[in-house]
Amino acid sequence: MKFSEFKYERPDMDRMQNDFDALIKAFESAETAQAQIEKLNEISTLRNHMESLGSLVHIRHTINTEDPFYDAENDFIDEIMPKYEEIIDKLYRAMNHSKFKAELQETFGTHIFNLIDVKLKTFKPEIMEDLKLENSLSSKYTKLRTSAKIDFDGEIRNLAQMVPYYESKDRAVRKAAQEAVTAFFVENEKAFDDLYHELVQVRHRIAQTLGYENFIELGYMRLGRTDYDHHMVATYREQVKETLVPLATDLRMRQAERLGLESVKYYDEHLAFTSGNATPKGDSKWIIETGRKMYEALSKETGDFINLMIDSELLDLEAKSGKAGGGYCTYINDYKAPFIFSNFNGTSGDIDVLTHEAGHAFQCYQSRELPIPEYLFPTLEACEIHSMSMEFLTYPWMQDFFKEEVDKYKFNHVSESLLFIPYGVLVDEFQHFVYEYPSVTPEERRAKWRELEKIYIPSRDYETNDFLERGGYWFRQGHIFSNPFYYIDYTLAQVCAFQFLLKANEDREQAWQSYMDLCNKGGSLPFTKLLEVAGLDSPFEKGSIKKVLPALKAVLNGIDDRAL
């Protein structure tokens, strides 16, 4: 089936609730472990259907936020998902109190009960209305960002379509593009501030209703973090400050030297070489077909996967008017089908997205037969290992996409991956501040952001841009609004992905087998246990970042970047 043939009909929540209640009641009254297992399988089928409908609405709404039908359905899903969450809460309570818990653990593994333990601490019926409000506010952020219509270079463009201008070889164009995007955020400054303030307040209120001091602990539990806490994350952030911030500063100085500039301003950061950044040597259709050949060559499994994705039209990759920004992978359970969403814009980022989101999609494709929905994806920091490592494991095929500019691509990809980690950690520390002090003013939040920028990105120079100098850059970072505390996961995964790059340089076949082992486990283990499966060092171990740096510096120094 093609994606366009996947059927959506608005779920009848009264009927759905009755069906769930009957199955949960039958589960509770079952006289044998096998009977409970059979009822759980029936419940999983019902869950898969409900979650498929939600995924279809999310995909079709983000593909065209101006479609009135899916706009209304998105509002409806926002409204009913807290009710669905209440149903899952009932299921978890029934599983947790099962007299056959030992047998269930033997069948489904112990990790589901680790997840249940934290998830039961994230919900009570009393927070239902606030959950609906939180969902609605997150959707409003997507709509607000998507409303950007920037008159630039003779056309009206959205935010994604402005990205290529950030990489212009003409410095005046780079600066003008950044200023045009900034103007959109300045024009909507109060709207973004008010929206985020409401989100922080409702999350704080939910946390307090559930008995927490603030949203931080609840935020971690929502993400299913069963094997580490915010104290371990704080220690990791210190490691980044000590090890990577000085290296990132050196990389910016090296970039300034390549560009012939005294220093890199904020509008110069996206241009790596005076001759221009590496770009794909074909349009989006060519990229997809080149990607097909790459994945067919990588392994039999990836070949089968990519042919399913392309032939069933499970990719929507081109930027267009009305389309939401960013990129993501999701999964449509009923069809056992991953879906990749992106906004191609003619930059090397198009290839990064193809490999990154395909890493997510391939993992859930490999995990699609695991017995319960919770195991389809692991927790998010482990998810990002699949995606970021796929970017490196496909390096042998980058020549096909970039031709004579392949060295440019590889140098900039490794360099940007290193530069990213301090920024990602900054986003995390900012969110810890926000939720620890939920009553601060929008002005105080922006001031804190700028203070942290000076710690984690001391080289960043906003020149005369008043809005960014006041700390407004974070308005662009959707995760801050919609996925609190998620962003640190990218940086944890990046440290792990670097290890896969080094493994592949030493023994490619063994590295690929480790990657497959990781994908095949899906979400059946917590983060640190999945690292053990793949033979990776934990980013929380002191010295884990320092350990990979010599080899990464060797990769960078093995390319004469000044000649590119």
pLDDT tens string 89-105: 999 999 999 999 999 99
For 431, the enclosing helix (H) or strand (E) is helix 406-436
The set of residues, in sequence order, having a beta carbon less than 8 Å from that of 541 and lying 6+ positions away, is none
Q: Angle between the 284-298 and 300-311 helix axes, to the nearest 10 degrees?
A: 150
Instruction: Give the Cα separation of 163 and 148 in Å (integer).
Output: 13
Cα dihedral 335, 77, 62, 291, rounded to 10, equals: -20
The reply to whether 24 falls in a domain is yes
| Residue 444 one-letter amino acid | E
The pLDDT value recorded for residue 325 is 86
Q: How confident is the model at residue 391 (pLDDT cuts 50, 70, 90)?
A: very high
| Residue 12 one-letter amino acid | D
Cβ–Cβ < 8 Å for 237, 223: no
Cα dihedral 66, 69, 74, 76, rounded to 10, equals: 140
Determine the average pLDDT of the residues in 299-319.
97
16 is written with which tokens?
Answer: 């759905």
Structural Rg of the chain based on CA atoms: 23
Half-sphere exposure of 70 (CA within 13 A, CB side): 19
Instruction: Give the Cα separation of 49 and 336 in Å (integer).
Output: 11
Measured at the CA of 299, the angle between CA 295 and CA 304, to 5 degrees, comes to: 65
For 152, the enclosing helix (H) or strand (E) is strand 150-152
Residue 288 CA: distances (Å) to CA of 83, 280, 344: 39, 11, 11
Residues 183-226 pLDDT 10s: 999 999 999 999 999 999 999 999 999 999 999 999 999 999 99
Residue 552 CA: distances (Å) to CA of 201, 351, 394: 42, 21, 17
- Please give the biggest Cα pair distance in the chain: 76
Residues 407-459 pLDDT 10s: 999 999 999 999 999 999 999 999 999 999 999 999 999 999 999 999 999 99
Ramachandran region of residue 278, left (φ > 0), alpha (ψ -120 to 50) or beta? Answer: beta
551 is written with which tokens?
Answer: 């080899």
382 is written with which tokens?
Answer: 């482990």
pTM: 0.93
The pLDDT value recorded for residue 497 is 97
Nearest to 84 by CA among 42, 111, 54, 40: 54
Cβ–Cβ < 8 Å for 502, 169: no
Exposure string for 103-132, b = 16+ CB within 10 A, e = fewer: ebeeebbebbbbbbebbeebbeeebeebbb
The pLDDT value recorded for residue 78 is 93
Length of the chain: 564
172 is written with which tokens?
Answer: 């005046």
Phi–psi pair at 331, nearest 5 degrees: -140, 140
The reply to whether 14 falls in a domain is yes
The pLDDT value recorded for residue 443 is 96
Cβ–Cβ < 8 Å for 249, 459: yes
The reply to whether 555 falls in a domain is no
Determine the average pLDDT of the residues in 472-482.
96
Determine the average pLDDT of the residues in 17-38.
97
Instruction: Give the Cα separation of 82 and 483 in Å (integer).
Output: 16
For residue 340, what are the β-bridge partners?
315, 329
The reply to whether 47 falls in a domain is yes
362 is written with which tokens?
Answer: 């391939």
Instruction: Give the Cα separation of 21 and 15 in Å (integer).
Output: 10
Determine the average pLDDT of the residues in 502-510.
96
The reply to whether 302 falls in a domain is no
Nearest to 279 by CA among 342, 347, 344: 347
Instruction: Give the Cα separation of 522 and 366 in Å (integer).
Output: 8
Cβ–Cβ < 8 Å for 8, 53: yes
Half-sphere exposure of 231 (CA within 13 A, CB side): 1
Q: How many domains does the chain have?
A: 1
The reply to whether 484 falls in a domain is no
Cβ–Cβ < 8 Å for 497, 392: yes
Classified as helix, coil or strand, 470 is coil
**Percent composition of the chain: helix, strand, coil (DSSP 3-state, to 5):** 70, 5, 25
243 is written with which tokens?
Answer: 């090890």
Residue with tokens 């000076």: 454
Cβ–Cβ < 8 Å for 411, 564: yes
The set of residues, in sequence order, having a beta carbon less than 8 Å from that of 67 and lying 6+ positions away, is 60, 61, 322
Within 10 A of 169 (CB to CB), how many other CB atoms are there?
A: 13
Find the domain containing 16 and state its range: 3-125
pLDDT of residue 137 exceeding 90, the answer is: yes
| Residue 11 one-letter amino acid | P
The pLDDT value recorded for residue 559 is 94
Residues 353-367 pLDDT 10s: 999 999 999 999 999
The pLDDT value recorded for residue 326 is 86
Determine the average pLDDT of the residues in 376-388.
96
The reply to whether 43 falls in a domain is yes
Determine the average pLDDT of the residues in 117-140.
95
Question: Over the chain, what is the mean pLDDT?
Answer: 96
Nearest to 199 by CA among 267, 268, 135, 148: 135
pLDDT of residue 240 exceeding 90, the answer is: yes
Cβ–Cβ < 8 Å for 391, 547: no
